Amino acid sequence: MADQTGNGPDSPRAKAPSAGFASELRDSVEPRTVWLIVGVLFVQLAFVFSYVGAFHAPKPHSVPVMVVAPEPIARRLAVRLNASPGSPLKVTVAPSRAAAVTRIKAAEQSAALVVAPASHTDQLLVASGGGAAVVTAVEKVARDAENAQGRQFTVTDVVPLQPGDARGLTGFYLVIGWIVGGYLVAAMLGIARGSRPANTARAAIRLGALALYAIASGIGGALIVGPLLGALTGHFIELAALGALIVYAAGAVTMTFQVLAGVVGIGLTVLLFVVLGNPSAGGAYQQSLLPGFWRTLSNALPNGAGTDSVRRIVYFSGQGIGGHLAVIGAYAVIGTVAALGVSAFRSADRGRAAPESA
């Protein structure tokens, strides 16, 4: 006799066949979720490959170095150093020690070997402000070359690091913090109100909010590394302005990716700025020590352009940052135009579709 509740052995519910595992799996995991998981796996493995590929075997590549010596010693030494296996150095001749120092302080050269023919001890001029890893690499190549000639050298740092900037990594971490802030705030705006703005006006409002955030972030970062921690001192306004530009550029690009691809756009942002951008930024190992792929990317992404800009502002009076600012500015402009343009196109497309559906 069937249970009055409908749960007895003869009830329809009891006789319904149980779904198979494959059917349950299809109901539990949508194809879209599977593809998102595959995408996460790809980003994860790309992260490992990019970081290990960039850092597992750093070697110098055509580091610009000068030699200062009487002729013909200078020419012979330059030829010999340029012929070193793997081309670690790109050696030119400087007319004098003073000229070499000037070019190093202008960030045009990384080091200079000043030869003293009357002595067995030469002098190596370096600039740790341009990157401690580069200094270490140049010292090794110079030491091998000098030892082969039965000579030695002393090291003079003509652009030393500030006391609070251990191994010159502060600028790198500062820029990474700015970029993380830029893409996180853009992602947050997208999650809060939909990854794709409903119309151009809303896209413009988001970009305006991003600009205000970028200004606050630039000022905050400059305050932390300067007055608060004393890591990079004396360049507050310049660093704050650079930071605002970097944050806005990262956020605008993230917004564009979201407008184009929805939530997947956040993954594309991580791929660009984290997987590719951080290893190639020239933090622990500067551009000239990275393998070819990452060396090429370095100045083409805001990470590397921003990191080198900080170094040049703090240690080289801002010389040579014009190209870097153009790169970062290009990301900001393209991100802004693309976000507004795609939003306008989608809004117009929805407007055309509404009458047709009516």
Domain membership of residue 240 (yes or no) is yes
Residues 145 and 245 in one domain: no
pLDDT band at 8 (very low <50, low <70, confident <90, very high): low
Residues 76 and 193 in one domain: no
In this prediction, residue 2 carries a pLDDT of 47
Domain membership of residue 95 (yes or no) is yes
Residues 178 and 238 in one domain: yes
Q: Which of 129, 157, 185 is the last residue of a domain?
A: 157
The Cα 36–Cα 158 span in angstroms is 51
Q: Which residues contact 288 (CB under 8 A, 6 or more apart)?
A: 60, 61, 62, 63, 110, 134, 137, 295
The Cα 279–Cα 258 span in angstroms is 24
Residues 123 and 189 in one domain: no
- The pair phi, psi for residue 229, each rounded to 5°, is -110, -20
Residues 86 and 215 in one domain: no
Q: What is the residue whose two structure tokens read 């000098």?
A: 146
For the segment 108-159, what is each residue's pLDDT rounded down to a tens digit?
Answer: 999 999 999 989 999 999 999 999 999 999 999 999 999 988 999 999 999 9
Residues 136 and 189 in one domain: no
The Cα 272–Cα 283 span in angstroms is 17
Residues 199 and 307 in one domain: yes
Domain membership of residue 98 (yes or no) is yes
Q: What residues make up the domain containing 170? A: 166-351
Percent of the chain with pLDDT over 70: 86
The Cα 234–Cα 350 span in angstroms is 52
Burial 51-73 (b: 16+ CB within 10 A, else e): eeebbeebebbebbbbbbbeeee
Residues 280 and 152 in one domain: no
Count of domains forming the chain: 2
In this prediction, residue 190 carries a pLDDT of 77
- Residue 72: asked if its preceding bond is cis (omega within 30°), the reply is yes
Q: What residue type is 218 in one-letter code?
A: G
pLDDT band at 344 (very low <50, low <70, confident <90, very high): confident
CB 337 within 8 A of CB 208: no
Could you tell me which residues are beta bridge partners of residue 126? 111, 157
Bridge-based pairing of strands 111-114 and 89-93 is: unpaired
Domain membership of residue 45 (yes or no) is no
The Cα 44–Cα 68 span in angstroms is 48
Residues 245 and 185 in one domain: yes
Q: Which of 134, 157, 180 is the last residue of a domain?
A: 157
The Cα 254–Cα 271 span in angstroms is 11
Alpha helices in 83-199 (DSSP H): 97-105, 132-148, 170-193
Domain membership of residue 85 (yes or no) is yes
Percent of the chain with pLDDT over 90: 72
The Cα 36–Cα 355 span in angstroms is 34
Q: What residue type is 259 in one-letter code?
A: V
In this prediction, residue 3 carries a pLDDT of 53
Listing from the earlier edge strand, what are the strands of the sheet with 121-126?
Answer: 89-93, 63-68, 111-114, 121-126, 152-157
Residues 92 and 230 in one domain: no
Give the 3-state secondary structure of 262-302: CCHHHHHHHHHHHHHHCCCCCCCCCHHHCCHHHHHHHCCCH
For the segment 286-317, what is each residue's pLDDT rounded down to a tens digit?
Answer: 999 999 999 999 999 999 999 999 999 999 99
Q: Which of 157, 188, 211 is the last residue of a domain?
A: 157
**How high does pLDDT run on average in the chain?**
89
Residues 254 and 274 in one domain: yes
Could you tell me which residues are beta bridge partners of residue 114? 68, 123
pLDDT band at 352 (very low <50, low <70, confident <90, very high): low
User: Six-digit token pair at 117?
Assistant: 């023919």
Domain membership of residue 357 (yes or no) is no
In this prediction, residue 343 carries a pLDDT of 83
For the segment 9-56, what is each residue's pLDDT rounded down to a tens digit?
Answer: 555 554 545 557 766 666 666 777 788 888 889 999 999 999 999 999
Domain membership of residue 218 (yes or no) is yes
Domain membership of residue 330 (yes or no) is yes
Residues 80 and 147 in one domain: yes
* Claim: this prediction has a pTM higher than 0.85: yes
3-state helix, strand, coil in the chain (%, to 5): 65, 10, 30
Q: Which of 76, 133, 117, 78 is nearest to 100 (CA)?
A: 78
pLDDT band at 106 (very low <50, low <70, confident <90, very high): very high
CB 158 within 8 A of CB 130: no
Q: What residue type is 333 in one-letter code?
A: V
